[in-house]
Amino acid sequence: MSVTHMILIALAGVGAGAINAVVGSGTLITFPTLVALGYPPVTSTMSNAVGLVAGGVSGTWGYRRELKGQWKRLRWQIPASLIGAGAGAWLLLHLPEKVFVAVVPVLLILALILVVIGPRIQAWARRRAEASGQSAEHVSSRKMAVLVLGTLAVGVYGGYFTAAQGILLIAVMGALLPESMQRMNAAKNLLSLLVNIVAALAYTIVAFDRISWEAAGLIAVGSLIGGFLGAHYGRRLSPNALRAVIVVVGLIGLYRLLAV
């Protein structure tokens, strides 16, 4: 590997780690970079998932304060993410990549729509809860069930093709939970990290020789730094600014996916 390629991959890792901490679609930087440098798509996906674990750790640690008070719900979401990630990793190892990638643009469009209209959905749910005499912060068992199923579905997606899973998680939680953007972002970082860990372990065990460990190592170093930077500056953004960043990055990712 040339020095130029090493620098490009490491810089892509920094950018991906920062964006994952704030939004959750950093793979849309590292995956195309690896493909552009000549790595096969499946190798790029696996190497990327392994490398971005480090960035997920730093991003989650940076948002640890916002995780407080969410564990009652996360105890259900975490198993859903783990099971979904395992299923998604199995799909990547057994199905043609193009089968699932064809669905990605549609999912991303739906996610961006939910991110935009999320505040209106939350306001409607709040008014309905108050009209029925319930607390505006109440999450019904039906909503919790839908949330867990949505988290499971995003876990499958993330285990197969990690790009934009954070946007999908924010969209699902934003439509169902009376939480702030920053707190949902913290939960998203944790759940995405778990999905990446499961996927990375599965790829390492089953397809060790198909991973580019040089590329994965460079992405790991870069994303570790990027995750700290993203968490530091991301929590300073207002809810509307954070939502705007998510939409912009999502649209750029959608363009890049459609342009492939």
pLDDT at 78 over 70: yes
Structural tokens at position 116: 């935009």
pTM, 2 dp: 0.79
pLDDT at 115 over 70: no
What are the CA-CA distances from residue 51 to residues 6, 19, 230 (Å)? 14, 14, 17
Rounded Cα distance between 215 and 232, Å, is 26
Q: How many helices (H) and strands (E) does the chain have?
A: 11, 0
**What pLDDT does residue 121 have?**
65
Structural tokens at position 1: 């590997």
Domains of the chain, residue spans: 3-259
pLDDT > 70 in the chain, percent: 81
- When mean pLDDT is compared across 47-61, 83-97, 168-182, 206-220, the lowest value belongs to 168-182
pLDDT tens across 204-255, in order?
888 888 899 999 999 999 999 998 888 888 767 776 776 676 677 667 767 7
pLDDT tens across 31-48, in order?
778 878 888 877 888 898
